[in-house]
Structure 1
């Protein structure tokens, strides 16, 4: 009888059988562990050039699986709001239909700010930036009039500009203007932003935080009138918001995000505190509030479902008409933003929900108030790596032993190995999910599953190959098979 084998398949079989699969398993363990480490390189170690090379050759090798897992943690255990310190005044479809299309003249926006301020909020944050002059301002209209209307033009120029009216409202109320960070220059961008002082305790973290070269901010006249400026940027990973920076870099300057600047203004603090060491930012504080952060100065956001936060929305129309309950504004942190169709900046959260960008800012503030933070500290990555290496080496040492109980189990019940593996990985997942629920720690069960499964597969493959060869040999020498050979006078084909 002749059998024909693919040479490459034969080489793979011999490689897997060599030294009972231990050399291959060691290569798999160390190789995948290195890829896992490169996908989330600890900031405490200088980043070698080969890390970037590996990331370019194998992009998102473990990052995607990790992100999907962390999303699933939240989807099965979303945050349930216990407080509602934020009210969102939305410029919605009803407001636009009543007041007029966007963009509004600045004096109309000033009227909205005055109406909100009359209800005594702690702070008013505008998720709006105004880098260009209002073309409906009296002086701009006067400039477009014909020479025959000189008297009318003179009368218009005597009136205050819309920027002056808005500046007066911004100055009279506890207001903060938002700004958009950009990596490239564009029309009306600048390289600086008027912002509150940031006091660094420890080492300057500028090299660790997300940095930008340009910012799209409101006019200098409006910046000077407001009581604070802040960045509105969020971090996107494959189109999904998972973590939010509390501080960022604008060239050589640290600047705050909107949530932390809102807290500064509400508490009457003169500055924002940043605590950093050689590994990066450790915490960001305002008054007696201290927020633990990732080394890049951001936090993982534990999202609440949009269905549980709809009660925080108030239509700007109701504010302007004076029909809103004052208690919904008094002593609240008020965010003003656009939610009208075609105007709002929609974002996808880790829960898979599409929400207005201003909702994400509100959830950051809410999370800080509740003190319920998700964390993935640097030491957790080292614990995961140590766990993977320890159990991986234990598998490599124990599993190939020919007289071990595991070897006997494989010979006796080959299919039971699959059930055992599934049970162990479910236990791993459940333990990591429990740690998430109990302590808010994001443990990467996905990498543990992928690497240890690959190591285990290096021993199961040769074991199954030996079992297959044994089955074929026994089938060849079975009595019925021999009778068939006698009757036909030839050996059966392959």
Structure 2
């Protein structure tokens, strides 16, 4: 076994020494660049079969490093909220302890909406699904009464159902109902949603946006009463929410997300505008607001720390008791959702914080209103790839030249080259971080670091091997005279 190991090691050494390591460096540069491109293939290009195979063979090769880097950008420079256009009316543990466990009878939820609407919000978005009739409605209770209670049953059936009461409240206020996007059929799912129209400017974006076959929506009676319908979906990558779709596909129909639909209702617009080109979705707009998106119709969200947004939360109990400050709701975009333990969905942000799902919807609205977007356009990926190839080819041409100063430095002080490389990579990281802060662009410094480090490694290895052999030779030459002297100093016959 050792013999084969020594043989392979000798071959690798000879390969690295061949033409000063240029062939190996070229192979490494092109292979890693292709792998990096495959991990984030530009949407305006048809994906070749070998790229798909490469991505499946080596999944998350560069994607994980890229995501962790972008998370670090945000952790070191989180968004600081300016204005606070959103108020979250939370059905928290205090409210549940006072009013009753969830789910509430729909007439009680109607009372909460009426109480919010009394303070004149711009829009009310409900992160609540109601796909089944309320079983506590008078007519439902009447159906469970014994036959001897005929008069009581008739009196109960004469009363409006709780769904009817809620529908009236939804119609009287600028409300938007959320619906859950699903890939599979389940109990109470449907295949359509009464959403507002979306006006297209360009090619059909359906092939590029997230598409779902089913939706868990509220009852048709409630959908008809509300002023808007929206799909709720977040893209999870390794359990972290990094970007949010602004539009999605429900089978062959485009539907809006909750933040965009709330802005549409708040501005009194009849439809959303979606602009596309060959790369995919470019902007999603409503009224005079145009949101630049990724080709898939989503945005990278620049998160604010939950510690800086706690002021937007109002307990539903305070609203029901009439103790809320009117300025907390008037002319605000109000989100209603569950935050009580055991009844809410918690999500992890790039900041490492666990927040209620409704907080993410609030941050999307806040980001759009402030106009502070994170962008990773298609051209940026090409720019990164061009930079990596250009610098990589320059290194391959310059470093192995015997008269180059870098080769002399490697031979003289190997550790200095390591320090120089670290300094250059630190400069690369700082430049990318500055671009993030200044322009909101997500530059992949991780791929630049990994690929160019691998290219430099192809030259450092043969240089270090040569240095090691030279050191051994000098040691052997140093030991040889001392051996001769020892032999000459001995007396004959000893």
TM-score (norm 1): 0.97
Q: Deviations over 1:262-299 (max 9, x none)?
A: 00000000000000011100000000000000000000
CA RMSD of aligned residues (A): 1.5
The residue aligned with 2:211 is 211
Aligned 1:217-228 pairs, distance under 5 A: 217-228=217-228
Q: Deviations over 1:364-411 (max 9, x none)?
A: 000011100000000000000000000000000000011111111111
Q: Deviations over 1:320-370 (max 9, x none)?
A: 000000010000000000000001110000111000000000000000111
1:484 to partner: Cα distance: 8.9
Aligned 1:61-140 pairs, distance under 5 A: 61-140=61-140
The residue aligned with 2:48 is 48
Q: Distance in 2 between matches of 1:381 and 1:263?
A: 31
| CA separation of 1:288 and 1:26: change in aligned 2, threshold 3 A | same
1:161 to partner: Cα distance: 0.5
The residue aligned with 1:422 is 422
| CA separation of 1:214 and 1:484: change in aligned 2, threshold 3 A | farther
Q: Is the 8 A contact 1:91 1:315 kept in 2?
A: yes
1:482 to partner: Cα distance: 3.7
Equivalences, count: 487
Aligned 1:387-406 pairs, distance under 5 A: 387-406=387-406
Matched, 1:34 2:34: yes
The residue aligned with 2:179 is 179
The residue aligned with 1:343 is 343
Q: Distance in 2 between matches of 1:485 and 1:413?
A: 33
| CA separation of 1:78 and 1:487: change in aligned 2, threshold 3 A | farther
| CA separation of 1:481 and 1:308: change in aligned 2, threshold 3 A | farther
Q: Deviations over 1:156-182 (max 9, x none)?
A: 111101100000000000000000000
SS in 1 for 2:414: coil
Q: Distance in 2 between matches of 1:45 and 1:160?
A: 57
1:152 to partner: Cα distance: 1.1
Q: Distance in 1 between matches of 2:466 and 2:147?
A: 99
The residue aligned with 1:24 is 24
The residue aligned with 1:58 is 58
Which stretch shifts more, 143-152 or 117-126?
Answer: 143-152
The residue aligned with 1:257 is 257
The residue aligned with 2:445 is 445
Q: Is the 8 A contact 1:475 1:481 kept in 2?
A: no
1:479 to partner: Cα distance: 4.0
1:310 to partner: Cα distance: 0.1
Matched, 1:374 2:374: yes
Q: Distance in 2 between matches of 1:483 and 1:415?
A: 33
SS in 2 for 1:185: coil
| CA separation of 1:147 and 1:411: change in aligned 2, threshold 3 A | same
Matched, 1:229 2:229: yes
Q: Distance in 1 between matches of 2:313 and 2:162?
A: 27
1:4 to partner: Cα distance: 10
Aligned 1:280-299 pairs, distance under 5 A: 280-299=280-299
Q: Distance in 1 between matches of 2:139 and 2:20?
A: 86
SS in 2 for 1:135: coil
Q: Deviations over 1:102-131 (max 9, x none)?
A: 000000000000000001000000000101
Q: Is the 8 A contact 1:346 1:356 kept in 2?
A: yes
The residue aligned with 1:491 is none
Q: Distance in 2 between matches of 1:229 and 1:484?
A: 95
1:18 to partner: Cα distance: 1.1
Q: Distance in 1 between matches of 2:483 and 2:330?
A: 95
Q: Distance in 2 between matches of 1:5 and 1:244?
A: 51
Q: Distance in 2 between matches of 1:114 and 1:5?
A: 78
The residue aligned with 2:244 is 244
| CA separation of 1:474 and 1:5: change in aligned 2, threshold 3 A | farther
The residue aligned with 1:492 is none
Q: Distance in 2 between matches of 1:97 and 1:340?
A: 10
1:232 to partner: Cα distance: 1.2
Q: Distance in 1 between matches of 2:453 and 2:226?
A: 57
1:201 to partner: Cα distance: 0.5
SS in 1 for 2:145: coil
Q: Distance in 1 between matches of 2:259 and 2:172?
A: 21
Q: Is the 8 A contact 1:303 1:363 kept in 2?
A: yes
Q: Distance in 1 between matches of 2:463 and 2:113?
A: 73
Matched, 1:314 2:314: yes
Structure 1 segments, 4+ long, off by >4 Å, are: 484-488
1:8 to partner: Cα distance: 1.1
Q: Deviations over 1:120-158 (max 9, x none)?
A: 000000000101111111111111111111111111111
Q: Is the 8 A contact 1:240 1:347 kept in 2?
A: yes
The residue aligned with 2:385 is 385
Q: Distance in 2 between matches of 1:306 and 1:186?
A: 33
Matched, 1:332 2:332: yes
Q: Distance in 1 between matches of 2:76 and 2:194?
A: 41
1:487 to partner: Cα distance: 6.5
1:52 to partner: Cα distance: 1.6
Q: Distance in 2 between matches of 1:62 and 1:168?
A: 52
The residue aligned with 2:492 is none
SS in 2 for 1:50: helix
